[in-house]
Structure 1
Amino acid sequence: MDLESFVDALPTGVAVVDATGRFKWVNVVGARTLGAANPNELRGVQSPFDISDTAQGGNAEDGDLPGIWDVGQGDCRQLVYRRGEQLDGGTTVTFRDVTEHRRQQARVGALARTAANMASQRSVATMLDAMAREVQRSEGVAGTQFITVSGPGKTLQVMGSAGFAEVRTFFDLLIASHHRGAALATFEVMDAGVQIVYPRRREKMLSSPEWQPLHRYISELDWEDFVCTPLIIRGHAVGVLNVYMAPNFHAGPTTLEFFTAMADQASLAVDYSTLLERDRIAVRREERKRLARNLHDSVVQQVFSIGMQARALKRAGSKAPEPLDEKLTSMADEITELSKAIQRDLRGIVLALQPSISAEIGLEGALMLLVGEISRRTDVRIDLVIDPEFPEYEADFVEDVYQVVSESIHNAVKHGAPASVRVSLTCSNTPRTATIDVVDDGIGPGDLTSASGGYGLTSMRERAARWAGHIQVAANDAGRGTHVRALLVPPRESMPRGQLT
């Protein structure tokens, strides 16, 4: 083999550049890198390489220098090159294309700067959706998914997706495939804790009857290979980044490093968001306890003292001359009744501010205690009906449902003066919705144009919005009383890991 043939066989670009910086000779790989069909096309063309001794801008440690090559039609390629020895009246240069690598570095850098801010401002699902779209924009990527595990049962859930037309059905189809015996790459990668490439995954899935439930779904996307990368937090896998590679695109070392970097960024953001939410919950819980304690120790006692003073005023008024005695007695009675009403309201508020017991004894048990306590204090009959299928597997969801019901009942008793209240909790799957109905036979909601006001209703709306839901307040269909309806989308009881491995 002659020298030229040997250099042509090298996997990197090699060129000889004259003193003016023009190409004298380029090997085959170099010509292809620069977008030329034939090395001869580049002879005499001005190169992007500075061969002078004053060339600057590279990495002093490895000797690489930067260069930009315009291939036409607005497309520029970023190169790095090294100068070599003198040969045939010119300087030898070795070079390679780092365009995609630099683009990937820029994406990772941008996400690193924004991930923490996104996690603090938006939900984890919204953040991972944005990151999935960013990965999907990379050359050769047909689709992406972020799948995470959560809760003591280690349940799986899709938290971000890009490239797929339909996302909601994926999970049910995946479960159905697993029940037919399909092995899940997600668990293999999480157990191994390393990135795994699955060549021709689409072809193998479509030829397997075990994956039949997913055949139509995965056929909608044009892809071939599959790359699964674990999300690692403090040494433990908490999910995966799934990447579906477009046909004829095979992930090389640089692309795989990019996927790993994206998975690392997602892991950091998930961890930060989780810790932040825990802090928020802890702060809210402590603030509720503090408010309850202050109300009980200060305001409730002061209202009780007002009642005592009213009774003393009534005794003193009975000894006053007419007609002052009747006026004083009437005023004392009115103050006594007002203090009793305020005490009842304050006790209800203190009860509502106490840390919820729903997580300890379950939603049904906690609501039964709640309605029993309110009924005893107010003589209002409260009927409670809970659908046996109502979801109780997510603690945060159960807590928000409990607080919405509690606030609705307290509002009805406080403002509606009802004789009875009916509370019902139901759940449907088409579409997937949890419904809370609190209907009373009191005096009605009043001016509905102001229904959006008030801290209690605002808090209810915020809790519903956390689960993609909303609150409706309207007059009761029976013509008397108020109907409060909360519509929420419950978290999906995602795939229990223990049942799938």
Structure 2
Amino acid sequence: MIRAERGLYGGSGPSDQAEVCSNVKCRVDEPSVPGLGADSVLRALVAVSADGLALLDRHGRFTVLNAAALDVLGLPADDLIGHPAPFPLGDADLAGLRDHRRRTVWLTPDGRRRDLEYRLVPLAGGAYAAWFSDVTNVLRQQERLTAITRAASSVADAGSLRGTLDAVANEIVMTANIAAVQILAIDNPSDELRVLGMAGFGDAADFVQRLSACRRLGARVRFMDAIQTREPVVVLNRKPAILADPTWAPLHEIMDYPNWDSFASMPLIVRGRTIGVINAYYVPGDDPGPSSLAFLEAMADHAAIAIDIAAHLARTRSQAQSDERRRLARDLHDSVVQQLFSMRMQAEALRSQVDNADADPARMRSRAQELADLSRTALADLRGLVFELHPLELAELGLVEAVRAHAASLQARTALVVDVQAPEELDFDLAIEIQEDLYRIVQEALHNVVKHARASTVAVRFALADRVLSIDVTDDGCGPEPGPERAAPTRAPRATLGLVSMRERAERWGGQLYAGPHPTGGWTVKVTVPAAAWHNQPVEETTSR
């Protein structure tokens, strides 16, 4: 142990050493090194211990400490002897045998937080022996690994980019030494920034506008260096400098809110291109060290992947919309345009017969009937195309009846038997926007059945359980595995444009979509939407406000 004087810090002389050895029942009968007694061996072992060792008096104050204890606590012996220890005496292990490790927090003189793991054993005479070690880095590493795992999960389950990156920012802030975080995207250094995720700040809705004002005043924005150099930027004691700089005045109120001091900016790099930064604001006394920067780099990778996925989905959505327009144009040409052309030919033939004095009335009636039939068919097809563009029946009939109407139209055109099943007691009140997305999911699923499944029947089932609305579309066609009497599979659970569109429609309302083989054969598409979203705005809108 270390005394305040004469070799060990605390106590008054050699007799104390023997008492300590007796109290902890230390037994060294035969010293392994000739010439060294039990007391010398004990002192040597205590001195070389890498963990903190200390004795406390009956009031829980330090009386004896070894060198490692002084290093962990960050104070000299004179400041610690007589100082209350951070270990509650009620945590003492009365048996002295069980591994009762507990944790506590110690603040060093410079304000740094240290997490200590300790054991406390009562000694004779009311004193206590304490063992402790600094586990701050271990705990932070565990927190960072947990945050990285949760961030990866949020990217995989992303319903919206802003929601995903807010989640990533929150995971970073949950680590012990970071007070606030921003995730910013920028396409060009001269462009305006976009805030994609933020945590730890107060009301910072106008952050981008205030930052632009600072840049116009000539403020040096250090995270722009990270974007341009594609390397991390670390600035110690950044907050006092910002608050003292008049060019940062528009942001003083926002930047003063979190309790932070130093700053680090990590570039977001994907496909060899820098697309933004993560800015981390560290609590006072905690500087961005190598392990913390490695953690930020891992989180930056997740954020960059999320942004890249969102951009890919936007391109996919645009492609899907373009494909849908081409399909509608093709359907319009193949049905209504052809029918109108036939109607024109029939009308011209009928006119020529009317102009003929020897016209046969029966033949004229036949041509007129053909013209009427063509117009009726053309009108029905045109209404079907209009309904696909915007199903007006949703507002008038509701989702279930609109699906039944579409099923009847599909059955008439294709001979596919479509059975729409909904309990009579089914009662839900959905916003019209949700109804339209759910209708489009069913419509796309039925379209895929007609196009790929070679099915004879398909069932559309509505159900409401535990305030979750579910709709599943199940056919009896060819699933992913060929049966003994079935042809080779034509479908597989892969991310086609149609499937991406269906999944996006479900996730924008906080729902989920499954598409895959049915246990009894065929194929199932199932969508679920929780009641919490029934009257809300889409996820993309609510998370961006």
Q: Report the TM-score, using the length of structure 1 for normalisation.
A: 0.51
Partner of residue 183, structure 1: 220
Which of 109, 127, 140 is equivalent to 1:100? 140
Mapped pair 1:136 → 2:180: no
Counterpart AA for 1:139: A
Counterpart AA for 1:180: L
Query: 2-side partners of 1:202 and 1:450: how far apart?
Result: 47
Query: 1-side partners of 2:265 and 2:249: how far apart?
Result: 21
Which of 230, 235, 242 is equivalent to 2:272? 235
Partner of residue 32, structure 2: none
Following TM superposition, by how much is the alpha carbon of 1:218 offset from its aligned partner in structure 2, in angstroms? 1.7
Task: Check whether the contact 2:269–2:275 (CA below 8 A) recurs between aligned residues.
Answer: yes
Query: 1-side partners of 2:313 and 2:229: how far apart?
Result: 29
Which of 242, 246, 249 is equivalent to 2:283? 246
Mapped pair 1:267 → 2:304: yes
Partner of residue 148, structure 1: 185
Partner of residue 474, structure 2: none
Following TM superposition, by how much is the alpha carbon of 1:240 offset from its aligned partner in structure 2, in angstroms? 0.4
Following TM superposition, by how much is the alpha carbon of 1:242 offset from its aligned partner in structure 2, in angstroms? 0.9
Task: Look up the SS of the partner of 1:223 in the other structure.
Answer: coil
The one-character-per-residue Cα deviations of 1:98-121 (angstroms, maximum 9, x if unpaired) are: 112112112112322442232xxx
Task: Check whether the contact 2:184–2:195 (CA below 8 A) recurs between aligned residues.
Answer: yes
Counterparts of residues 199-218 of structure 1 (less than 5 Å):
199-218=236-255
Which of 19, 23, 27 is equivalent to 2:68? 27
Decide whether aligned partners of structure 1 residues 219 and 325 sit closer, same or farther in structure 2, where only a CA change above 3 A counts: same
Counterpart AA for 2:242: M
Partner of residue 85, structure 2: 37
Counterpart AA for 1:28: A
The one-character-per-residue Cα deviations of 1:120-178 (angstroms, maximum 9, x if unpaired) are: xx221221111111212221322111000248975421111112222321111111111
Task: Check whether the contact 1:14–1:26 (CA below 8 A) recurs between aligned residues.
Answer: yes
Task: Check whether the contact 1:69–1:76 (CA below 8 A) recurs between aligned residues.
Answer: no
Task: Look up the SS of the partner of 1:166 in the other structure.
Answer: coil
The one-character-per-residue Cα deviations of 1:211-243 (angstroms, maximum 9, x if unpaired) are: 111122222333221211111113321100011
Query: 2-side partners of 1:110 and 1:96: how far apart?
Result: 23
Query: 2-side partners of 1:208 and 1:453: how far apart?
Result: 50
Counterpart AA for 2:101: W
Mapped pair 1:69 → 2:89: no
Query: 1-side partners of 2:318 and 2:49: how far apart?
Result: 56
Task: Look up the SS of the partner of 1:247 in the other structure.
Answer: coil
Decide whether aligned partners of structure 1 residues 43 and 134 sit closer, same or farther in structure 2, where only a CA change above 3 A counts: closer
Partner of residue 151, structure 2: 111
Task: Look up the SS of the partner of 2:193 in the other structure.
Answer: strand
Task: Check whether the contact 1:25–1:43 (CA below 8 A) recurs between aligned residues.
Answer: no
Partner of residue 162, structure 1: 199
Counterpart AA for 1:69: R
Counterpart AA for 1:116: A
Which of 209, 212, 234 is equivalent to 1:197? 234
Query: 1-side partners of 2:53 and 2:215: how far apart?
Result: 54
Partner of residue 307, structure 1: 344
Task: Look up the SS of the partner of 2:101 in the other structure.
Answer: strand
Task: Check whether the contact 1:314–1:333 (CA below 8 A) recurs between aligned residues.
Answer: no
Task: Check whether the contact 2:104–2:116 (CA below 8 A) recurs between aligned residues.
Answer: no
Counterpart AA for 1:289: R
Task: Check whether the contact 1:303–1:342 (CA below 8 A) recurs between aligned residues.
Answer: no
Rg bigger for which structure?
2
The one-character-per-residue Cα deviations of 1:2-36 (angstroms, maximum 9, x if unpaired) are: 998999999963679xxxxxxx9783158659xx9
Task: Look up the SS of the partner of 1:250 in the other structure.
Answer: coil
Mapped pair 1:282 → 2:319: yes
CA RMSD of aligned residues (A): 5.3
Query: 2-side partners of 1:327 and 1:144: how far apart?
Result: 79
Task: Check whether the contact 2:52–2:68 (CA below 8 A) recurs between aligned residues.
Answer: yes
The one-character-per-residue Cα deviations of 1:416-455 (angstroms, maximum 9, x if unpaired) are: xxxxxxxxxxxxxxxxxxxxxxxxxxxxxxxxx9987997
Decide whether aligned partners of structure 1 residues 78 and 238 sit closer, same or farther in structure 2, where only a CA change above 3 A counts: farther
Query: 2-side partners of 1:71 and 1:453: how far apart?
Result: 50
Task: Check whether the contact 1:132–1:161 (CA below 8 A) recurs between aligned residues.
Answer: yes
Decide whether aligned partners of structure 1 residues 151 and 144 sit closer, same or farther in structure 2, where only a CA change above 3 A counts: same
Counterpart AA for 2:150: A
Decide whether aligned partners of structure 1 residues 454 and 228 sit closer, same or farther in structure 2, where only a CA change above 3 A counts: closer
Task: Look up the SS of the partner of 1:231 in the other structure.
Answer: strand
The one-character-per-residue Cα deviations of 1:172-213 (angstroms, maximum 9, x if unpaired) are: 111111101111122111112111111221211111111111
Gaps of 5+ in 1: 17-23, 50-67, 80-91, 354-406, 412-448, 469-487, 493-501
Mapped pair 1:171 → 2:208: yes
Task: Check whether the contact 1:116–1:272 (CA below 8 A) recurs between aligned residues.
Answer: no
Counterpart AA for 1:70: R
Return structure 1 stretches of 4+ with deviation > 4 angstroms.
1-12, 29-33, 41-49, 75-79, 92-97, 151-155, 313-322, 324-346, 449-456
Counterparts of residues 78-477 of structure 1 (less than 5 Å):
97=136, 98-118=138-158, 122-150=159-187, 154-297=191-334, 299-313=336-350, 315=352
Task: Look up the SS of the partner of 1:101 in the other structure.
Answer: helix
Task: Look up the SS of the partner of 2:157 in the other structure.
Answer: helix
Query: 2-side partners of 1:175 and 1:38: how far apart?
Result: 47
Query: 2-side partners of 1:7 and 1:173: how far apart?
Result: 60
Counterpart AA for 2:236: P
- Aligned pair count reads 328
Task: Look up the SS of the partner of 1:240 in the other structure.
Answer: strand
Which of 13, 16, 29 is equivalent to 2:51? 13
Partner of residue 379, structure 1: none
Query: 1-side partners of 2:431 and 2:228: how far apart?
Result: 54
Query: 2-side partners of 1:189 and 1:183: how far apart?
Result: 12
Following TM superposition, by how much is the alpha carbon of 1:288 offset from its aligned partner in structure 2, in angstroms? 2.5
Task: Check whether the contact 1:8–1:27 (CA below 8 A) recurs between aligned residues.
Answer: no
Query: 2-side partners of 1:273 and 1:71: how far apart?
Result: 42
